[in-house]
Amino acid sequence: MALKRSERLSALTSTILPRSADYEVKLTPDHESLRNTIRDFAEKQIRPMAAEIDRKNHIPRELLNQIAKLGLTAITYKEEYGGLGADLLSMVIALEELARVSAACSTVFVASHLVSEPLNEWGTEEQKKRYLIPMVAGEKIGAHAMTEPGAGSDVAGIKSTAKLHGTHWEISGRKTFITNGEIADLYLVFARTSPSPSRQERHKGLSAFLVERGTQGFQVASKIETIGLRGSQPSELVLDHVKVPKDNLLGKEGDGFYVGVKTYDRGRIDVAAQGVGICQAAYEAAISYAQTRTSFEKPLIEFQQVQYKLAEMAMGLHTARLLTYWAASLKDQGKDFVKASSIAKVTSTEAAEKLSLLAMMIHGGYGVATEYPVERFLRDSQIIKTYEGTNDIQRLTIAKQLLRELKA
């Protein structure tokens, strides 16, 4: 018998109505202590170099080593691997504070986590001892090599291949837009190990491999110049019959799509944190300029038009931060966080763009001058909207999650 309208509404309501416990975010003194530590370092060591990093398109390796020594590479990992055993919310706060001063610097660690996280989740003990421990210690940087010239959002469309020959895999293909490609020590390379069974199952037959820098046949081809996150520019990689040991397969053969997608689910929260950092930076720059710049013998901040813009910026900043902390908290509580991570990523990265534009408007002509940082904020925001799955892809993810919930 068909459900009555009231029964259908009741069933729908139980599916889509929130539970109070799902919105619990707890910040502790440890979180604030970490924030203060990272902020103090960023202000003293990174801010004086931020404009030069952007101008020269280069981050000194020594600076990255110093950031790693703060524990940024160790926050969420177990003590047995050299980690600090802290939660994802701690990582979000640390990345937010780095991105507030230099989004490019934060990107190096966001990208490296796309190797250390799957290693931690799917790696064997031997792989963890060999690769994860030095990554947690900050001795090795990782690069996640999925994207290809003909396969970006369509992960299942990658053409790189890996064939098993006795005790080793032989990988061939080309990767592009690989963050950390030029500086990484370890690469997580995705390749097809078997043909897809059908058009509907194109995601099957992909596998993930750990490839060390310097392996014969592996080449960092060229840096790709982009308008934002200068200092952390992506690269092209060429793999020409690259031989890696059989044991360098991460997870099971054929699980590559699953490894990649699950890694991105968590990684989007890192990107959301970058968006929050840019929002905070734009907000601070706008307020500072509005207080010190005068027009018609009054500080700009006394004009209602400027006040409206600052109000919009405050709304965007706090919304982005709360949603990002919410997504991280769901992950820390072991709850389903996939939809939340996509919501946080879209909201915070688009807020970063909007707040940067508003800051530029408040700055007037100086907003487009390279001697002021707000034009950099806008350029950086364009990149974070694009990687870890474009925001259009995130909207599809949110919709798919909603449909799954309605069918449950």
The answer on pLDDT for 275 being more than 90 is yes
Cβ atoms of 200 and 252 within 8 Å: the answer is no
- Tens of pLDDT, residues 211-223: 999 999 999 998 9
Structure tokens at 178: 């690989």
Query: What residue ranges in 121-205 does DSSP mark as E strands?
Result: 142-145, 161-165, 168-178, 186-192
Q: Is the pLDDT of residue 10 over 60?
A: no
Q: Compute, in degrees rounded to 10, the torsion defined by CA atoms 210, 214, 217, 222.
A: 100
The pLDDT score that the predictor gives to residue 1 is 43
Does pLDDT of 289 surpass 50?
A: yes
Residue 301 above 50 pLDDT?
A: yes
Active site residue 388: yes
Residue 55 token pair? 């101008």
Q: CA 61 from chain center: how many Å? A: 20
Tens of pLDDT, residues 45-88: 999 999 999 999 999 999 999 999 999 999 999 999 999 999 99
pLDDT tier, 359 (very low <50, low <70, confident <90, very high otherwise): very high
Structure-block tokens of residue 99 = 């991105």
Higher local confidence (pLDDT), 297 or 176? 176
Annotation: CATH topology of 143-257: Butyryl-CoA Dehydrogenase, subunit A; domain 2 (2.40.110)
CB 277 within 8 A of CB 97: yes
Average pLDDT of the chain is: 92
pLDDT band, residue 152 (cuts 50/70/90): confident
Residue 233 to residue 247: CA distance in whole angstroms? 31
Q: Which residue out of 170, 350, 388, 405 is catalytically annotated?
A: 388
Q: CATH: 3.30.70.3450, 3.40.50.1820, 3.30.1330.80, 1.10.540.10. Which one for 26-141?
A: 1.10.540.10
Q: Which residue has the tokens 């053409």?
A: 159
pLDDT at 16 over 80: no
Within 8 A by CB and 6+ apart from 47, the residues are: 101, 102
Decide: helix, strand or coil at residue 161. Answer: strand
Q: Where are the domains of the chain?
A: 26-141, 143-257, 263-407
pLDDT recorded at residue 12: 54
What are 225-264's pLDDT values in tens digits? Answer: 999 999 999 999 999 999 999 999 999 999 999 999 999 9
Residue 139: pLDDT band by 50, 70, 90 thresholds? very high
**Res 8 pLDDT > 80:** no
Q: Mean pLDDT, to the nearest integer, of 181-192?
A: 96
Establish whether domains 26-141 and 263-407 are of one fold.
Answer: no
State pTM to two decimals.
0.93
pLDDT of residue 120 exceeding 50: yes
Return the pLDDT at 59: 96
Q: Is the pLDDT of residue 315 over 60?
A: yes
Pick the CATH number of 263-407 from 3.40.50.920, 2.30.30.40, 1.20.1250.20, 1.20.140.10: 1.20.140.10
Q: Please give the share of the chain, as a percent, with pLDDT higher than 70.
A: 95
Q: First vs last Cα of the chain: how many Å apart?
A: 19
Q: What mean pLDDT is predicted for residues 35-44?
A: 97
Q: Is residue 116 scored above 90 in pLDDT?
A: yes
